[in-house]
A and B are shown apart, each in its own frame.
Chain A
Amino acid sequence: MDHGEETILELDRIVKKYRTKAFLFGARGQEVIALNEISIKVTRGEIFGLVGESGSGKTTAGRLIVRLEQPGEGKIYLDDHDITSLKGKASKAYSRRVQMIFQDPYQSLNPQLSIFDTISEPLIIHKIGNTKAKEDAVWQTMKSIGLSPPHDFAHRYPHQLSGGQRQRVAIARAMVLNPEFVVADEPTSMLDASMSAQIFNILLEMRKKLNVSFLFITHSLAAARYLCDRIAVIYRGNVVEVGPGDEVIENPKHPYTQALIDALPKFRYSGDKKRYQTLIRAERRVPEHAGCPFFSRCKRADPIKCSREKPPLMRLGDSHSVACFYAEPGIKTSSGDNA
């Protein structure tokens, strides 16, 4: 795929912290670090996968990009412009270029608005074209998403559509402004396999026809493999591995990525043997926020180095980076292979 090397979106050492509310009986509000200095670069026209489990911070990253929340530290760049603290008109102009597809098709559409109203809403907000132009834009978007014939759907309400159809409406709403960058936050996790497949194919087509760049947030490595040009694996707020999709999946270097692949049920029954076995059975106790985030579960970890120093992303091969001191084979830890 010829994308050109232009970076469309960049997250530069983003930090996001939350303070949990204090319970009445017990612990005071704790500080949770959702994103711990993450940096990501997405090329124009690329589908970039952000893969992680719940609590990894992947959704938070997406929300920061569409400015539903503000980062504590760090900067976000769209097309080399610093958009971290935009306000007012500039913020509104930003929303024309960057959009989001939400996870839950049952909650992301206003139940009181018809499909036509929902899709035309962004056009109305940004005062694009007259009534007729708006109508045409809506029809065209609906057709390209597969909601055909458009006027069949236009006057229906969300509860009259299936989950897959609703999600397509959500995509239409995101695409009607012709954005340059779209954050897709687990768009298929609430859909059946067949509907998910449709959505994937729609995203691929959007990228092909309009050269839109996507940040595809998911917990499914298999989906990421299918859709994404590059994949970043995120664990507890840290990017632990980044690289071309196929490379990360066939040749994972970080023990967490390897554990994820081990854990996936294999399609054809392939025996009990795990390929990488990088997890230890019981978690180690570890001081908060120090050292490698994966230290508490890592078989390969060095008890001294890994508990004190946080490994930075180190370039391994051709655009494949890993945040692990012992990622390369042949490097022994001081403790050998003991857990």
Chain B
Amino acid sequence: MSEESIDKKPLQKFRWISRFHAGWAVFKQSLLGKIGLTLLTFFALMALCSFIPPLVNPMYQPMAGVDPEISTVTGPSMRHWLGTDFMGRDLLSQLLAGARIAFMVGVSAAFMSVFLGTTVGMIAGYMGKFVDTFLMRLADIVMVMPALVVLLMLAALFGQLNIWFIVFFIALFRWPGVSRVIRAQTLSLKHRPFIEAARVAGASHLRIIFRHIMPNVLPLSFLYMTFQVTSAIIIEAALAFLGFGDPRTVSWGMMLQWVWKTGNMFKAPYWLLPPGICISLITLSFYMLGRAMDEVLDPRLRKEWETG
């Protein structure tokens, strides 16, 4: 009898692995997915490497680096591969640091908004009636508010905003979109026989939501996370560009702000272009990943490769 208990654990892990392999097989067939993943890996490497330049030489610090010899905007050179900004700080290390910020902001904000949206969506969809109406009207109100404008107002009121504050607020504005989708999914699951079977077995509402509905809804949540990352990155970049970002962090949006503010937009393409291109590419690659994941998670496709 105890052998069976031991059997249980390894086989369970095996399940996730086999599911991953199966998903990977589908994913591999998607050109978009492969391009997206490649780009993302590249950016991830960038983010990881962002720690290296300051270790090589303190003058490569993105914010505080001071090059004893240079204190103005210069073009690419052997010392500074992308050039320097208006204070003589190395542009490449700023770009790498920006990648780190992009991932941090993007993923955190996306995670928070998806977490909130999924929970609200499940509860609204499952409870129905008053709770559903209340939560969805709340979602409507939040969705209609122009996120950027409100953030700007807050920034104007409270001065420069801390980066985590920004992340939190992005999440706060973005959860309604997720909750609508999750609510729809919950509604379609609610009347499925296996949910009724759980009710007949005596499960409480809470148990049904978290044990039965959530696992079926999570794949969709993960999918939406990739889309949410893109919008989070863009909002942060926009805020930073407009001068309302966290002045203590170097993000690509911040870089763009500096280019613009110091009047170098047309004079220093090596400063202007890299952050702009990076923002576009990273959002594009997350989007491509999301599209490929869509194919992986599509239940119709799933049946083909999981049966028989």
A–B contact (CB under 8 angstroms): yes
CB-CB < 8 A to A155: which residues of B? Answer: 7-8, 11-12, 15
Q: In the complex, A151→B4 CA distance in Å? A: 7
B211-225: which have CB < 8 Å to A? 211-212, 215-216
The answer to whether residues A116 and B8 also contact, given A68-B199, A107-B193 and a CB cut-off of 8 A, is yes
What per-residue 1/0 map shows which CB atoms of A106-120 lie under 8 Å from chain B?
A: 011111111010000
Nearest residue (CB) in B for A106 is B193
B interface residue count range (under 10 / 10 to 19 / 20 to 34 / 35 or more): 20 to 34
- Contacts A108-B197, A109-B194, A139-B1 known; 4 new A-B pairs at CB < 8 A: A113-B212, A122-B202, A125-B204, A132-B1
> How far in angstroms is the closest Cβ of chain A from B43?
32
Task: Encode B46-85 as 1/0 by CB contact (under 8 A) with A.
Answer: 0000000000000000000000000000000000000000
Q: Say whether A102 contacts B7, CB under 8 Å.
A: no
Contact of B201 with A122 in the complex, beta carbons under 8 Å: yes
Q: Which residues of A contact B198 (CB under 8 A)?
A: 110, 121
- Residue-wise, chain B 1-38 has the 8 Å CB interface mask toward A (1 for contact) of 10011011001100100000000000000000000000
Is A231's CB within 8 Å of the partner chain B?
no
Min C-beta distance of A187 to chain B, whole Å: 12
A68-B196, A92-B202, A125-B202 are contacts. A112–B8 as well, Cβ < 8 Å? no
Question: With A104-B193, A107-B193 as given contacts, are A114 and B199 in contact (CB-CB < 8 Å)?
Answer: no
Among the stretches A48-56, A72-80, A93-101, the one at the interface with B is A93-101
A95 proximity list for chain B (CB < 8 A) = 200-202
CB of B207 closer than 8 Å to a CB of A: yes
A102, A126, A135: the one within 8 Å of B197 (CB): A102
> In the bound complex, do residue A113 and residue B203 qualify as a contact, i.e. CB atoms below 8 Å apart?
no
* Residue among A108, A116, A159 making CB contact with B303, cutoff 8 Å: A159
Q: Which of A96, A112, A154 has the most CB of B within 10 A?
A: A112
Q: Which residues of the other chain, B, contact A66 by a CB distance below 8 angstroms?
A: 200
Taking a contact as CB atoms under 8 Å apart, the answer to whether A100 and B8 are in contact is no
Taking the closest CB of chain B, its distance from the CB of A24, in whole angstroms, is 20
- Answer yes or no: B262 CB below 8 A from chain A CBs: no
- A136 near B: Cβ within 8 Å? yes
Report yes or no: B8 in contact with A154, Cβ–Cβ below 8 A: yes
Question: Does B216 lie within 8 Å of A112, measured CB to CB?
Answer: yes
Question: Which residues of chain B are near A136, meaning CB under 8 Å?
Answer: 1
Instruction: Give B contacts to A, CB under 8 Å.
Output: 1, 4-5, 7-8, 11-12, 15, 192-194, 196-204, 207, 211-212, 215-216, 303, 306-307
Q: Specify the chain A residue showing the minimal Cβ separation from B193.
A: A108
Number of interface residues of A (CB under 8 A): 39
The interface residues of chain A lying within 8 Å CB-to-CB of B200 are 66-68, 95, 99-100
Beyond A109-B194, A112-B215, A135-B4, whether A99 also contacts B303 by CB under 8 A is no
In the bound assembly, the distance between CA atoms of A204 and B217 in angstroms comes to: 38
Q: CB within 8 A of B194: which of A107, A116, A126, A139?
A: A107
Shortest A316–chain B CB gap in Å is 36
- The chain A residue with its CB closest to the CB of B7 is A151
The answer to whether A99 and B193 have CB atoms under 8 Å apart is no
Q: Which residues of A sit under 8 angstroms from B1, Cβ to Cβ?
A: 132, 135-136, 139
Q: Does A230 belong to the interface (CB within 8 Å)?
A: no
Residues of A within 8 A of B194 (CB): 107-111
A173 on the B face (CB < 8 A): yes
Is A170 in the interface zone, CB < 8 Å from B? Answer: yes
Contact A135 B201 (CB under 8 A): no
Interchain CA distance A155-B198 in the complex, whole Å = 19
Q: Can you pick out 10 interface pairs between chain A and chain B where the beta carbons lie within 8 Å of each other?
A: A68-B199, A92-B202, A107-B192, A108-B196, A109-B197, A132-B1, A135-B4, A154-B4, A155-B11, A155-B12
B199: chain A residues within 8 A (beta carbon)? 68
Q: Inside 8 A of A68's CB, which chain B residues have their CB?
A: 196, 199-200
> Across the interface, do A125 and B201 meet the contact criterion of CB distance under 8 Å?
yes
Least Cβ distance of A270 to chain B in Å?
38
Q: Are A135 and B192 interface neighbours, CB within 8 A?
A: no
Contacts known (A116-B8, A125-B207, A155-B8); A110 close to B212, Cβ less than 8 A: yes
- Nearest A residue to B19 via CB reads A157
A102 touching B193 in the complex, CB below 8 Å, given contacts A112-B215, A125-B207, A135-B4: yes
Q: How far is the CA of A110 from the CA of B7 in the complex (A)?
A: 22
- Taking a contact as CB atoms closer than 8 A, the residue among A113, A151, A154 that contacts B215 in the complex is A113
Q: Mark A56-68, 1 if CB is under 8 A from B, else 0.
A: 0000000000111
Closest residue on chain A to residue B5 by CB atoms: A135
Residue in B1, B193, B198 with the greatest tally of chain A CB atoms within 10 Å: B193
Q: In the complex, which residue of chain B has the Cβ closest to the Cβ of A150? A: B4
B4 proximity list for chain A (CB < 8 A): 135, 139, 150-151, 154
Bound-state Cα–Cα, A100 to B306, Å = 29
Bound together, the chains give a CA A197 to CA B216 distance in angstroms of 33
Report the separation of the CA atoms of residues A100 and B201 in the bound assembly, to the nearest whole angstrom. 8
CB-CB under 8 A from A132, the residues of chain B are: 1
In the assembled complex, the Cα of A278 lies from the Cα of B202 at a distance in Å of: 45
Provide the residues of chain B in CB contact with A102, threshold 8 Å. Answer: 193, 196-197
User: Taking the nearest CB of chain A, how far is it from the CB of B94, in angstroms?
Assistant: 44
What is the CB-to-nearest-CB distance from B12 to chain A, in angstroms, rounded to a whole number?
Answer: 6
Residue in B4, B215, B216 whose Cβ sees the most chain A Cβ within 10 Å: B4
Bound-complex Cα distance A104 to B193 (A): 8
Please state if B193 and A125 are interface contacts (CB–CB under 8 Å).
Answer: no
In the complex, chain B residues whose CB is within 8 Å of the CB of A67:
200
Across-interface contacts of A122 in B (CB, < 8 A): 201-202
Given known contacts A114-B15, A155-B11, A157-B15, is B201 in contact with A121 (CB within 8 Å)? yes
